[in-house]
Chains A and B, each alone.
Chain A
Amino acid sequence: MARVTLRSISKTYGTDKVVDGVSLEADEGEFVVLLGPSGCGKTTTLRIISGLENASSGDLLFDGVSVSSTPPEDRNVGMVFQNYALYPHMTVSQNLSFGLESRKSKKEEIRKAVHEVCELLELSHVMTHKPKELSGGQRQRVALGRALIRQPSVFLMDEPLSNLDANLRERMRSELAQLHRRLRITTFYVTHDQGEALTLSDKIVVLNDGRIQQIGTSDEVYRKPANSFVAKFIGSPGMNLLDLEPLMISGMLEHGSISGLKELLHGQGADLSNVLLGIRPEHLELNDNSSVVTLYCEIQSTERFGSHNQINGLLNGDKDSVVVAKIPPDVELNTTDTVKLYAPYRHLHFFEKTSGNRIEVLDK
């Protein structure tokens, strides 16, 4: 299992900087998730780690040794492609053994390795089947097996669950987690799905526009997003971000709240005209409490999710301040009702409007 270090990796296609100064470190056996929207550079970064693409600048190290000039076949990485890339004309065991045969391992060793992998991934009963005879989950396991059979020191996965339907995805997610616990291979996992990121990762790297937005545990990116992008990206739906100044002026807030906020922020030397207030939909409450900020919300629509209801509304009817709130399922609220939403201080986040950076506010 290798420790992987990326130092200022950048990749440019023509004039397009797809990956911009990405630096991160993965400890031995760590499960690192590269998370971000489409086009953020996560797949390119993964391919650079694999060696299928070369970085335009920067360095890549395995266990402290640079592998930037090592060809992919010598890096001992295993990769699972989004579309699995299983050879359709070969059986499962042939797909698994193909790479080993090229390395001139002995037949007996190959057979043993194939058997072991099949047992590990519960594929023993389909060893002689061809990919088209397998279910989606089985195919995925074959793809996993093929990557694992050479006992790689780094394991790469490119959105492996995106081709599966929702139920299967849940199951495979937990299977992957189990697999990782068992094998403890340093893993890089690319996805745009936060659920996968939050549950599978030891560490999440949030990317946007080729740049790292934040590196942290699931807890950290959820509770302390480093900038407004992360705040909005994490969570479903993401955090509500409201422009503070108009908020304070326009009467969307209760008067008492305004002074409280001013107090909080003055201490940080923040420019009040350049602040975004953040509060997650699940943290907005219908019941008053002490130390809360109160918002007047005019409901535009409601959605029922079974486990909760979601209301989408505008603050004081202002088209620019959309608010989403999650409320308990048994509360009945209708469109055009105005409701008071309470945001506890401890769940408030502040970000600089221009840079998006987090404003640390002490002692809420």
Chain B
Amino acid sequence: MSKVSLLKRIAKQSFIVVVAALFAFPLYWVVVTAFNTKGGTYSIPPNFIPSFHLGPISYVITHTSWLHYIVNTVFIAGASVVLVLITSAMAGYALSELTFRGSGVLFLMIVGVMMLPAQALLIPQYAVAYHLGILNTYTVQIVPFAASTFGVFLFRQFFKSLPKEYWEAARLEGVGHLRYIYRVAVPLAKPAVLTVTLLTFITSWNQFQWPLIMTTSHSVQPIEVALSHYMQTFEANWRKLTSAVVLALAPIVVLFLLLQKHIVNGVAGRDSGVNR
């Protein structure tokens, strides 16, 4: 390799490192701030090296019901995942294997949902929730998200790729559709299940505007909404505030670090960025 191209390569690699660092930096900064000494936080120039001052974070842990909010969030996200898996697998199967009149219309209906701008619908959705009597509950945070267009498409795609002989053999043996979905189709669709699970969980965890509008009582609110309350509670007490943020971010970051490969693949497909 010539010297010039070696230099180029080094330059490129360093650029990438810089970019990646830039993206990761704010997260690092939160941690630093949260665990810093009071002096360190409010100094100019700011202190970049993390200390391990546990004062603020222990205060947050003991004096707020952050755990309660996390539990809420986990519960809501978990329930959403389960429901989405069921509804998406069933609908995806129906659209891929079965031919029945009206399947085209239903398919278009699902595509149509994707076209509706979410923001614009919030007010009428609030009205619907009100009339259904589910405002300020766990239900209102779960049920509207119980179906996912992405999930339906993913499962449909997956089921379409299964050889049709699987179903034919099962059919000859007298196995019905439901049994087939449960024993053959879904077990073979593990990648789809994983992707839908992860993405639904993350989306649900990150919901903010919806619970903000639909709930008012602390007992059912998720951590995101709690955080925005903390902004008031901890007004200008940045170390405490950032500690709360750390507590809220930690689960997601950990999840991401562990399952990064699957999450990224799920979003962008298997070939993203592979330099062939």
Q: Verify that A and B bind, or say they do not.
A: yes
Interface of B is mostly: helix
**Considering the chains assembled together, what is the distance between the CA atoms of A146 and B174 in angstroms?**
12
Asked if A12 is an interface residue, CB under 8 A from chain B, the answer is no
> CB within 8 A of A72: which of B163, B165, B171, B187?
B171
Complex interface: chain B residues within 8 A of A103 (CB): 174
Complex interface: chain B residues within 8 A of A52 (CB): 168, 171-172
User: Interface size for chain A: under 10, 10 to 19, 20 to 34, or 35 or more residues?
Assistant: 20 to 34
Complex interface: chain A residues within 8 A of B174 (CB): 73-74, 99, 102-103, 150
Asked if B52 is an interface residue, CB under 8 A from chain A, the answer is no
| Partner-binding segment picked from B7-15, B72-80, B88-96, B176-184 | B176-184
Known: A85-B163, A89-B187, A89-B188. A98 touches B170 (CB 8 A): yes
Tell me the minimal C-beta distance from A54 to chain B in angstroms.
Answer: 14
Asked if B257 is an interface residue, CB under 8 A from chain A, the answer is no
For residues 64 through 100 of chain A, which have their beta carbon under 8 Å from a beta carbon of chain B?
Answer: 72-74, 77-79, 81, 83, 85, 87-89, 98-100
Please state if B176 and A146 are interface contacts (CB–CB under 8 Å).
no
Residue on A with the closest CB to B167?
A85
Tell me the minimal C-beta distance from A346 to chain B in angstroms.
Answer: 48
Asked if A50 is an interface residue, CB under 8 A from chain B, the answer is yes
> CB within 8 A of B173: which of A51, A73, A81, A89?
A73
Complex interface: chain A residues within 8 A of B188 (CB): 87-89
Please state if B171 and A81 are interface contacts (CB–CB under 8 Å).
no
Complex interface: chain B residues within 8 A of A98 (CB): 170, 173, 175, 183
Complex interface: chain B residues within 8 A of A147 (CB): 172
Complex interface: chain A residues within 8 A of B166 (CB): 85, 87
Please state if B171 and A73 are interface contacts (CB–CB under 8 Å).
yes
CB<8 Å pairs between A and B, sample of 13: A81-B165, A81-B169, A85-B163, A85-B168, A89-B188, A98-B170, A99-B173, A99-B174, A99-B175, A103-B174, A146-B169, A150-B173, A150-B174
Q: Beyond A72-B171, A73-B175, A99-B172: 18 further Cβ-contacts under 8 Å? A: A52-B168, A52-B171, A73-B172, A73-B173, A73-B174, A77-B172, A79-B169, A81-B165, A81-B168, A85-B163, A89-B184, A98-B183, A99-B170, A102-B174, A102-B176, A103-B174, A146-B169, A147-B172
Residues of B within 8 A of A (CB): 163, 165-166, 168-176, 179, 183-184, 187-188
